[in-house]
Structure 1
Amino acid sequence: MNVLLFEDEKHTAQHLIRLLEKYDPRIKILEVIGSVKQGILWFRNNPMPDLIFQDILLNDGNCFEIFDEVKIEVPVIFTTAYNEYALKSFKVNSIDYIVKPYDYQDIKNALDKFKNFREIFLPPESELLKKIVFPEKPEIKKRFLIKLGDRFRSVKSEDIAWFIYDDGLTFAVTFENDRFAINYSIDQLSALLDPDTFFQTNRKYVVNIESIRNIHTWFNSRFKIEINPKPGEDIIVSRERAKDFKLWLDR
């Protein structure tokens, strides 16, 4: 089995290679690639591997830039220190998503899944493959049930200006500046809310487009946004999300 690795940290790449060899010594590592630019060039000059292990944040950008440039029709196992890209990964042939640090059992589970799906990926026109690669989107969450002491209140999603993860809890803040604790993580909210209306700016905030008042360029290719009601701190769009943020604003 020919495997292509995307990993910009040498130590992590060596660790992954050892785990793959432990699983099956016959696995052939075609190359270890650490950048978007190198990856695009490799795909344009080489036949497709059987499987790709794909780190998301490479040394010159986000790996999804590769998928924008190259049509990849083989299974991909994503390995990353962030769990916030999971939904996006399943639009590009992902069969598994492993969050670092990983161990042998994580790699074994992913490779076992690959073996089970391998026939499905050939041919790529398979209807079952399409269901795996392009899963149905979850239903958009339209309202939240809020518990207030011995009472309950239903709050429409469109009435919420932003969500914040703060000190181990997630809060929803309405345009009227009411603040409610909710039982969802920021990553879950990013997947459940209307993507035309809400955007996850970083690991702490999800904002409603109607709450944004000003956008400023910020150092390291980031953005600083001003929202209303004001949260009491700067909201920075992370470098990894800056490109998607601009596309979201320009829909």
Structure 2
Amino acid sequence: MRILVLEDEYPAAERLQRLLSQAAPEAQIAAQLDTVAGAVEWLQTHPAPDLILADIHLADGISLDVFDQLVVSSPVIFTTAYDQYALQAFKTHSVDYLLKPIKLTELQAALQKLRQWHRPAASEVSQQLQPLLNTTSPTPKTRFLVRQGEQLLPLHATDIAWFQSRHETVTLVTRSGQRYLVDYTLEQLEQLLDARQFFRLNRQFIAHLPAVQRLHPHFNGKLKLDLHPAPAEEVLVSREKAGAVKSWLEGG
């Protein structure tokens, strides 16, 4: 298991490595970095690690900024003395949120949770963990109940243009431009929707295939997408995800 450690305090980094040697002797530290800029550069130029252990506060900002700048597929265990970032942290691929000083038993429990998430589907896995191992739901969700005043309206997935997460709420926008709040996170919707028709473009948007009108090259290998109806914000896709978006649009 290759681990990227993001920690700007040398004593804390040393203690974490000692705990790791006890909790996961097979683990290898791929790199230890103390800045957001260094983490972004490393993740852009190296294979994704099996795990990221990230303190919240780094020398030049907070580690959550890394996940705002990049689409990171690696699971993350946050290690911090602050608990006010927990909700924001769990919007990443967060396995756990450990408060300092970290105890060996807590780290062992977090690593066990990680192993359960990545256990092969063919092994004996409980029904509660199985959805976490599937990239898409076996039976994609085709209808949503949305609230209109005091009423609930059934809405078919084919009528949806895109979903947007903003200020901890998720909005569903129909192809005719109507907007409804939904009680799902984008992470939950990724599991529920048909991956052939819906794609997670970035941390804010999931788009339905017919809603994508055009692609434009953007800075640093990114893509800018025109959606219909047009959102108020620009819709950008990272360089790392650009190829996957093109493949999805081509039906690959």
TM-score range, shorter chain: 0.5 to 0.7
**Residue 128 of structure 1 aligns to which amino acid in structure 2?**
E
Paired residues of 1:56 and 1:78 also in contact (CA < 8 A) = no
Go from structure 1 to structure 2 and tell me whether the alpha carbon gap of 1:215 and 1:128 turns closer, same or farther (over 3 Å shift): same
Conserved in 1, the CA contact under 8 Å of 2:173 and 2:179? yes
Compared CA separation, residues 243 and 79, structure 1 to 2 (3 A): farther
Is the contact made by 2:143 and 2:157 (CA closer than 8 Å) also made in structure 1?
A: yes
Q: Which runs of 4+ in 1 moved over 6 A?
A: 83-86, 131-134
Q: Which amino acid aligns with 1:214?
A: R
Match of 1:60 among 41, 44, 50: 44
CA shift for structure 1 position 174? 0.6
- Is contact 1:21-1:27 (8 Å) kept? no
In angstroms, what is the RMSD of aligned CA positions? Answer: 4.1
Kept in 2: contact 1:61–1:240 (CA 8 A): no
Q: Measure the CA separation in 1 of the matches of 2:114 and 2:174.
A: 44
**C-alpha displacement of 1:179:** 0.8
Corresponding residue of 1:226 = 226
1:154 aligns with 2:138: no
Tell me if the contact between 2:7 and 2:13 (Cα under 8 Å) persists in the aligned partners. no
Q: Give TM-score, length-normalised by structure 2.
A: 0.63
* Among candidates 105, 122, 128, match of residue 124 of structure 2: 128
2:163 counterpart of 1:163 = yes
Alpha-carbon separation, structure 2, partners of 1:125 and 1:186: 23
Name the CA shift for 1:154/1:25 in 2 (closer, same or farther; >3 Å).
closer
Query: For 1:171-210, what aligned pairs fall within 5 Å after superposition?
Result: 171-210=171-210
The CA distance in 2 between the partners of 1:125 and 1:141, in whole Å, is 21
Residues 5-59 of structure 1 show CA distances to partners (whole Å, capped at 9, x for unaligned) of 3316464898566235236648647643249xxxxxxxxxxxxxxxxxxx99943
| Counterpart residue type for residue 226 of structure 2 | E
How far apart, CA to CA, are the structure 2 residues paired with 1:232 and 1:79? 35
Contact 1:159 1:174 in 2 (8 A): yes
- Letter of the 1:230 partner, please give it: A
Question: In structure 2, how many angstroms separate the alpha carbons of the residues matched to 1:14 and 1:185?
Answer: 37
Give the direction of change, closer, same or farther, for the CA distance of 1:23–1:126 in structure 2 (3 Å limit): same
Residues 1:18 and 2:15 aligned together: yes
Amino acid at match of 2:204: K
Residue type of the alignment partner of 1:166:
R
Residues 81-120 of structure 1: pairs in structure 2 closer than 5 A: 82=67, 98-99=94-95, 102-103=98-99, 104=102, 107-112=107-112
The 1:187/1:25 distance shift into structure 2, 3 A limit, reads closer
Q: Residues 10 and 142 of structure 1: is their aligned pair in 2 closer, same or farther, counting only changes over 3 Å?
A: same
Unaligned segments of structure 1, at least 5 residues: 36-54, 67-75, 90-96
In structure 2, the residue corresponding to 1:206 is in which secondary structure? strand
Q: Give me the whole-angstrom Cα distance separating, in 2, the residues matched to 1:143 and 1:114.
A: 32
Secondary structure, counterpart of 2:220 in structure 1: coil
Q: Secondary structure at the match of 1:128?
A: coil
The number of aligned residues is: 204
